[in-house]
Every structure is written in C-alpha cells, then in structure tokens.
Amino acid sequence: MKKIITILACMMPFITLAAQELPKWADKARKAVFSIITYTKDNQILNTGNGFYIDETGTAISDYTLFKGAERAVIVTANGKELPVKYIMGANDMYDVVKFKAEFDKKAEALQPASVASGVGQTVYLVPYSTQKDTKGQSGTVAKVDTIGEQSYYYTLNMQTSEKTISCPIMNTEGQVVGMIQKNNEPENKNSYAIGIRYLTDLTISALSVNDMALNSIGIKKGLPEDESQALVYLYMASSVYERNQYLELLNEFIASYPNTTEGYLRRATCYIDFGDDSHYALAEQDLKKMVDIAEDKGDAHYNIAKLIYSYQLSLGDKEPYANWNFDYALNEINQALTFAQEPIYYQTQGDIYFAMQKYAEAFTAYDTVNKTNLASAASFYAAAKAKELTEGTDKKEVIALLDSAVVRYAQPYGKDAAPYLYERARVKADSEDYRGAVSDYNEFYDAMLGQTSAEFYLIRSQAELKCRMYKQAIDDINKAVELEPKNVVFWMEKGSVHLRVNQLDEAIKALTQAVEMDAENAPAYRMLGYAQIQNKEKEKGIANLQKAVDLGDEVANGLLQKYK
C-alpha cells in the first residue's frame, strides 16, 4: 500500500500539468462539446468519440474514422441528453474529418469559429468532452502552421494529447475555435496536431459528391449541397445511383429545403410513377398539381406534365393507364402550354403525342412548325418525313425532300451522325423505285459507318443493286451477307435468287441446296432449287424438288410443276 501511495504521489505533478483550469469562457464552451456513438446496420455500437457544434442549427464536426461504416449515430451532450445525427454534410478521409447535422440541444452552446488563424507561439486551449461542471483541459502553444488548400491551416501544437481528446476543439485566448484535435499516430509524441476550423466549415457536399467514396462508406443519410443549382445537379446524379426509396428521401429533403422550386415536385412525381401502383400515382398527381400552382412559368409546367404523361403512356404497352393518364391528357397539357407560349419544343412534343396517337397529318403539321424555327434539326425533319410518309395519299417525293433537308444539315464526308438519315432516304428511294438513288445513299451510309455494317445491310443493298442491274455489286453484297451470317437460311435463299437472276445456275443450285439442308421444311427454297435444276437440265431432280415444295403447301410450285412435268 505504501508503494502505491508513493507512486500516486509521484504522478500528481504530471496530472496537475495535464488537467489545468481553463479561462472563464471555457465553462460555456464545454457545452458545445459532445460525445458521439455510431452504430452498425445491426444496431451494434461501432465507435465512440467526440465532436462539437459550430452553429446553433446543429452543424457539427468530428473525425471521419468514427463514422466510417456507420448506419446511424447519436450525440450525447454535456448535459447528458441523447440526440440523433440527421445527415452528413461533408467528409474527407485523407484529413479524417466529417461535418454533419444533428439535433441542437437548447441548453447547448455553439463554438464560434475564429476568423483569423493562430500564429506560431500563440497560446491555445483544448476543451474536452465533460459532463461535469468543472472545466479542466489543457493548454499549449502553436509550434508550426502549414497551409492546406485555400486559407486553410494545419497546426502542430506543443501539447501532448490522448486518444480520448480526438475531435475535441482547440480554442484561442478569445474563446474562439481554431481547430480540431486529430489522432496522433505516435502516442509518445510530445506534440499534437489539429486541422484548422476553416477547412472544416468549408467542408461541403457538391453536385459530384454522389460518387464520393468517403461519403458512400457512411450509411447515414447525406445532405444536399447548400447551393440550389448544385443541389439540382446532385439530384440528377443521384437518380442513377441511389436506390428508389433512398432517392425519394433525398427528393423529400430537397422539397423541404426549396418548397417553391418546381423541379423538386416534377422529379418526385416521376419517382412516384416509377413505383407503378395507384397509391403512388395519386401522390404523383398531387405533386404535378402543386408544380402548376407554384410555377411562375405555367407553360413550362404544363409542358413537363405533357412529356411525363406521354412517356408514361408509352411505357404501358397494352396495360390500362391510371385514371385519365392517356395520350389525350398529354395532348391537353401540351395544348395548354401552347396557350402561354408558342415555344418550338412545345410543338415538337405536340407532334410526338399526335404521332403516338397515329394522327399523322396533325403530327406533320406540328413538326413542320418546328422546322420553321431555330429548333429545326435533322431529327425534326426526319420526324416530319415519317409523319408525312404515314399520312394517306402522300407523294414519296415529299418524303424524300424532307429527308434531303435532314441530310443537308451534315457536311460531307458524312459521319455516323448522318448515317441514319442516309439509310432512311435510301429506303424511301427504293420504295419509290429510284433504285440507283437508293444504292447511292446506301453507299454513302456505308462510308459514314466506316464499313461497320451488318449482314442485313448487305442483303438490302444487294436487292436494290439487283433491281437496277448492278449484278456484280449485288453478288458481292449477298456473298458478304452470307459470310457474316452463314447460318441464316434467308441469306442463302437470296444468294440463290441473285445467281438465278444472272443465270449462274451452278452457284444458284449450291446456295439453294445449302438452304434446304439447313431447313428441310422450307417450301420456297425447294421450289427455287427445283426451278434452277430444271433450267440446268437436271429435270428429274428439279421435278422432285418442285413436288417437295408442293407437298409443303407452295402454290407457286404447283404451277411450275404442271408446266415442266
């Protein structure tokens, strides 16, 4: 016992040095410091540590390590009150810091961040977490100041601290917080380290933080960027990353923060629709009505509803829509938008809706209006061409003229952007029996695609080439089609047909024999093979194959059989 007393007596000077009376302001400052408990998904304690308030709205800071892997967290104030951490406001794993929003205890205080950094040699104080009225802490001096980022600092202190003081505040003589104590990797080190308060207060969530690894390793809800435009971009980014319920929670927070911004209601309505049930459709309907009510630009609000209902109806297929959410509803909304402003994009949407309703003449009129504005593009002329083509009584030349207007918007030599319009113009030219014009467009398409085309393309170009007696090109193309898809029976039949057309009977017979070997029930292939064999003076084989075609139900083969039998 005497030995123990002696040891305690020897330790007393060191204890006195470690635990010192702080200035009078410290009694108030300690109320801002709290303990933190983080929990796993299974509600098991993950870590415990410290933190402190930096404003009276509940903004607080601590170390990132404490929160990594946590699914929820609570703070325990100096008054012993337990309060939840609501959301994360920023994190940096390199500097081991986190900023978050917690409930604010009315009896608590918030530390005032120092506006000026502490200099070398200046006295600083460490205020620990304490539930006792007595305020004891440590004091020391600044040994070194390093700059990190813009006007942010990292302090080396002449002060030895322990694990229990990590994330406690470092204060200047005026009672302002200048930094936060960080973990010392060398426990015996007589110095300690603190990251400056400016770095912590500037810690934020930005529009691109959705993919931030440090933030995503914390399971606690994340806050939105404080700037509205950044928050909108963050919502857009989160929509493709977050799970639906998590994204909905984020939308709710955005609407709570920006209740007069229409974008929030539109996005939440879209999210509700994604649930696919009547109860969520009803919620979406409420949000759409709210969006119109608060919108300064009523035309834009009705336009967005029209687009949303149009997309919803397209996604339904043969299913019954919710309430009156059909193309008529979408059309009514876009027509309302047009009463407020005659925006080209509104006419584009009107055209899309009419097209979906198979009202092609009306769709063409809407697209034609777009094509007379600065919104005119290859896509809008193509849409007009499709609507015009499907309108009864249309001259194909009108369709080709519209497609000319689409193609002319690209400079030669054409690139892949122009390829779809070249291909479509070639198709319409072939339909109007301008086969050489079609082949020319198919050649332009091939060049625009840098030769990266499908077997079907070679088949289609071969057919056009055959019609305008470009026999060598037609044979080359059908051979390429067969090379690319050697197991496609249709290509072998077409190859046989091309060879028949140019009286290359041996090649035709080989191709058609391959076709019937691949598909023994293919009546047209037997008919063509039988005809080729008869023309090649192999009448017996030819008659047998014609009979096979007849047996399989080919009426044309029956006529040939009667002729050559």
| Domain end (from 140, 169, 201) | 201
| Domain end (from 320, 338, 353) | 320
Sign of CA dihedral 163, 169, 172, 175: negative
Domain assignment of residue 268, yes or no: yes
Domain assignment of residue 48, yes or no: yes
Q: Are residue 189 and residue 81 in the same domain, yes or no?
A: yes
| Residue labelled with tokens 């109320």 | 31
Q: Are 343 and 359 in contact (CB under 8 A)?
A: no
> Any alpha helices (H) in 408-520, and if so which ranges?
419-431, 435-448, 455-467, 471-484, 489-501, 505-518
Q: Are residue 185 and residue 280 in the same domain, yes or no?
A: no
| Domain tally, the chain | 3
Query: What CATH number is given to the structural domain containing 553?
Result: 1.25.40.10
Between CA 268 and CA 263 the distance in angstroms is: 8
Backbone angles phi, psi at 418, to 5 degrees: -85, -15
Beta carbons within 10 angstroms of residue 210's beta carbon: 21
SS3 535: helix
Q: Are residue 235 and residue 197 in the same domain, yes or no?
A: no
Q: What domain range includes position 255?
A: 225-320
Domain assignment of residue 143, yes or no: yes
Domain assignment of residue 13, yes or no: no
Domain assignment of residue 279, yes or no: yes
Beta bridge partners of 171: 125, 177
- What is the dihedral angle through the alpha carbons of 494, 498, 503, 505, rounded to the nearest 10 degrees? -30
| Domain end (from 274, 300, 320) | 320
Which pLDDT tens digits describe the chain residue by residue (565 residues)?
Answer: 334 333 333 433 333 334 567 888 998 999 999 999 999 999 999 999 999 999 999 999 999 999 999 999 999 999 999 999 999 999 999 999 999 999 998 888 999 999 899 999 999 999 999 876 666 789 999 999 999 977 899 999 999 998 999 999 999 999 999 999 999 888 778 899 999 999 999 999 988 888 899 999 999 999 999 889 999 999 999 888 888 998 999 999 999 999 999 999 999 999 999 999 999 999 999 999 999 999 999 999 999 999 999 999 999 988 899 999 999 999 999 999 999 999 999 999 999 999 999 999 999 999 999 999 999 999 999 999 999 999 999 999 999 999 999 999 999 999 999 999 999 999 999 999 999 999 999 999 999 999 999 999 999 999 999 999 999 999 999 999 999 999 999 999 999 999 999 999 999 999 999 999 999 999 999 999 999 999 999 999 999 999 999 999 989 988 998 888 8
Domain assignment of residue 210, yes or no: no
One DSSP character per residue, 437-448 reads HHHHHHHHHHHH
